């Protein structure tokens, strides 16, 4: 492997240590990643925009002593980045460059992160395969004929393929966790409200959360630490009690793990199920108690989600009307301009969800659909609260299958929605959840999901870390192909 490959093999935490020690140049590291990201256009198509050179701040000495030491960060397209294209994967925002930067990105920049590029995603974060992008689909680095998962497919693929040390994504119903699982990396959805949503082009306001994609759990904790915090510009953001800690620990003694029956029975592929069962056994060996539990309303969570999220989205996407920014299709009259602009600017999945959401809110249907869905949501949250009286964390497979083929589920929206069945309940309840690589099935990654009560990120990270060390999985496809084992 080349020197550049060596550098790109470092985890973020290791790279930061070396930069801080004066042992590695932040500018040199940025160049390595920049070249890889720029070269990816014909391969995985993970990026929609790449910086064309190192940012000015990398020249400053102060950079090396900043907590994130000038490390490059790949950022999902839907985060507003001032002066840099931010289109949320949609044609309707063609050419749009925001006049401001999202708080989550700004906080990381303040901590020393530098913008490597914007990553590809399903349009307006709606999808589980990254096949709904105006920029074309993203491919899974483990098998280029397969999807990386979605909606944050670009961020996941970039980290998995070593095109970026880490990346930002967003999770509404599983859009960080599921691609993390399909790409064999770590992905975390924080407690709702822990990270500011200001500047995130909205999909579903009561569900969207920003979170990290990383190679390992330690990097996830490090990035998350600099993202959390109350923001005066986001009325739904909350102060995180205490600090995000870097995990240590060698076993799971005293940890009570619950396995929800409803999310681990039907619909899970056998290879995924086997890997899951093996890790449960491992957890017991590490000292955890593992017991079944019940989330009685979990089977209805997907239905509630596919009413609430589209309903909120139908309102959030009403601002895309050709008046103030983005695409406009000229027409004789105002109505024509609205309908032609939105018809031309939105893809099929987005139109489907806008229609579904509008219908669920419309006169005569609100009570039966949106209203009911919010009641189901209350019950789902209650189910988790009850479970957390007996258990510290719950554990499930992240996704019901490994990465499927491009084109395989595009014509069957319902089949596509079922990808989210294990991740949606946590989104509805607003609780934090992490996905870690859980070995391979047929040569493709599977993921393990842990979730806990609100603001239990430290306990989540600690347990995930122990399991990660015990599993010894090295996620990089290059390393696997070269027959490499545990990462250095």
What residues act catalytically? 76, 151, 175
Q: How far is the C-alpha of 225 from the C-alpha of 243, rounded, in Å?
A: 7
Q: What is the CA radius of gyration of the chain?
A: 21
The residue (of 273 and 351) whose beta carbon lies closer to other proteins is: 351
Q: How far is the C-alpha of 463 from the C-alpha of 256, rounded, in Å?
A: 11
CB of 407 to other proteins, least distance (A): 17
What are the DSSP E strand ranges found in 312-416? Answer: 393-397
CB of 281 to other proteins, least distance (A): 34
> Is-contact 461 245, C-beta < 8 A?
yes
Q: Which residues contact 107 (CB under 8 A, 6 or more apart)?
A: 196, 226, 227, 229
Closest CA to 134 of 91, 97, 85, 94: 91
> What's the half-sphere exposure (Cβ side, CA atoms, 13 Å) at 409?
22
Q: How far is the C-alpha of 345 from the C-alpha of 341, rounded, in Å?
A: 6
Both tokens of residue 465?
């870390």
The residue (of 205 and 441) whose beta carbon lies closer to other proteins is: 205
CB of 102 to other proteins, least distance (A): 6
- What crossing angle do the helices spanning 217-225 and 12-20 adopt, rounded to 10°? 60
The residue (of 325 and 487) whose beta carbon lies closer to other proteins is: 325
> Is-contact 121 158, C-beta < 8 A?
no
CB of 348 to other proteins, least distance (A): 8
CB of 66 to other proteins, least distance (A): 25
CB of 336 to other proteins, least distance (A): 8
The residue (of 337 and 487) whose beta carbon lies closer to other proteins is: 337
> Is-contact 276 400, C-beta < 8 A?
no
The residue (of 62 and 415) whose beta carbon lies closer to other proteins is: 415
Both tokens of residue 164?
């970026």
The residue (of 38 and 340) whose beta carbon lies closer to other proteins is: 340
């Amino acid at each position: 492997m080349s020197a550049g490959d060596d550098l790109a093999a470092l985890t973020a935490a290791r790279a930061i240590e070396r930069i801080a020690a004066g042992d590695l140049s932040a500018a040199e590291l940025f160049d390595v990643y920049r070249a890889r990201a720029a070269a990816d256009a014909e391969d995985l198509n993970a990026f929609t925009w790449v910086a064309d050179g190192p940012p000015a701040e990398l020249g400053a000495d102060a950079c090396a002593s900043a907590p994130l030491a000038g490390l490059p960060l790949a950022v999902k397209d839907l985060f507003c980045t001032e002066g840099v294209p931010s289109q949320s994967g949609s044609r309707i925002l063609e050419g749009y460059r925001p006049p401001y930067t999202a708080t989550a990105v700004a906080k990381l920049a303040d901590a020393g992160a530098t913008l490597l590029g914007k990553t590809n995603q399903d349009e307006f974060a709606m999808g589980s395969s990254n096949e709904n992008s105006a920029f074309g689909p993203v491919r899974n680095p483990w098998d280029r004929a397969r999807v990386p998962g979605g909606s944050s497919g670009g961020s996941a693929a970039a980290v998995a393929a070593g095109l970026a040390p880490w990346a930002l994504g967003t999770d509404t119903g599983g859009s960080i966790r599921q691609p993390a699982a399909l790409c064999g990396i770590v992905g975390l959805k924080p407690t709702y409200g822990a990270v500011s949503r200001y500047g995130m082009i909205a999909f579903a306001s009561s569900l969207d959360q920003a979170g990290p994609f990383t190679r390992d759990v330690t990097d996830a904790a490090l990035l998350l630490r600099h993202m959390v915090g109350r923001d005066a510009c986001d009325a739904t953001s909350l102060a995180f009690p205490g600090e995000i800690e870097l995990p240590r620990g060698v076993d799971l003694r005293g940890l009570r793990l619950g396995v929800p029956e409803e999310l681990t029975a039907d619909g899970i592929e056998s290879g995924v199920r086997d890997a899951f069962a093996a890790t449960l056994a491992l957890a017991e060996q590490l000292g955890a108690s593992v017991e079944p539990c019940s989330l009685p309303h979990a089977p209805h969570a997907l239905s509630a989600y596919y009413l609430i999220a589209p309903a909120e989205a139908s309102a959030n996407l009403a601002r895309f009307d050709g008046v103030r920014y983005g695409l406009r299709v000229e027409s004789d009259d105002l109505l024509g301009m609205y309908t032609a602009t939105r018809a031309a600017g939105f893809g099929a999945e987005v139109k489907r969800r806008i229609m579904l959401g509008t219908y669920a809110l419309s006169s005569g249907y609100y009570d039966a659909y949106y209203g009911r869905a919010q009641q189901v949501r209350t019950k789902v949250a209650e189910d988790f609260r009850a479970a957390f009286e007996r258990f510290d964390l719950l554990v499930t497979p992240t996704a019901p299958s490994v990465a499927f083929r491009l084109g395989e589920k595009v014509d069957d929206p319902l089949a596509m929605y079922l990808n989210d069945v294990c991740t949606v309940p946590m989104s509805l309840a607003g609780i934090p959840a992490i996905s870690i690589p859980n070995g391979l099935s047929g040569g493709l990654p599977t993921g393990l999901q842990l979730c806990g009560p609100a603001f239990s990120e430290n306990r989540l990270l600690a347990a995930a870390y122990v399991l990660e060390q015990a599993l010894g999985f090295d996620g990089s496809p290059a390393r696997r192909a070269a027959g490499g084992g545990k990462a250095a």
